[in-house]
Amino acid sequence: MTTTREPQPTMTSAAAVLPPDAAGDGPRGLRQHLPVLYPAAMLLVFFVVPFGIMLAFSFFHRVQGGFYEPAFELDNYARFLTPLFVSALGFSILLCGLAATVCVALALPFTWLLGRSSVRVQTAWLVFILSVLSLSEVIVGFSWSVLLSRSAGVSNLLVALGLAAEPAAWSPSFPALLMGLCYVSLPYAVLVLYPSVVRLPSEITEAARTLGASPVRTFLTVVVPSLRRAVVATLILVFVFTLGSYLLPQLLGQPQHWTLSVLITDQAVYQSNVPFAAAIAVFLMLVSLGLIGITLLLSERGRA
CATH number reported for the structural domain that contains residue 100 in this entry: 1.10.3720.10
Residues 248-256 have a mean pLDDT of: 86
Please state, in angstroms and rounded to a whole number, the distance separating the CA atoms of residues 231 and 6: 64
For residue range 93-120, what is the model confidence (pLDDT) as tens digits?
899 999 999 999 999 999 999 988 888 9
Residue 213 maps to a domain: yes
pLDDT score, position 205:
79
Widest distance between CA atoms in the chain: 121
User: Quick one: what percent of the chain has pLDDT higher than 70?
Assistant: 87
**Which structural domain, as residue segments, surrounds residue 261?**
53-303
Confidence band, pLDDT 50/70/90 cuts, at residue 155: confident
pLDDT score, position 22:
47
For residue range 271-287, what is the model confidence (pLDDT) as tens digits?
778 888 888 888 888 87
Please state, in angstroms and rounded to a whole number, the distance separating the CA atoms of residues 200 and 214: 19
Residue 149 maps to a domain: yes
What is the tally of structural domains in the chain?
1
Residue 21 maps to a domain: no
Helix (H/G/I), strand (E/B), else coil: 63: strand
Give yes or no for a cis peptide into 275 (omega within 30° of 0).
Answer: no
Helix (H/G/I), strand (E/B), else coil: 134: coil
pTM: 0.75
pLDDT score, position 299:
66
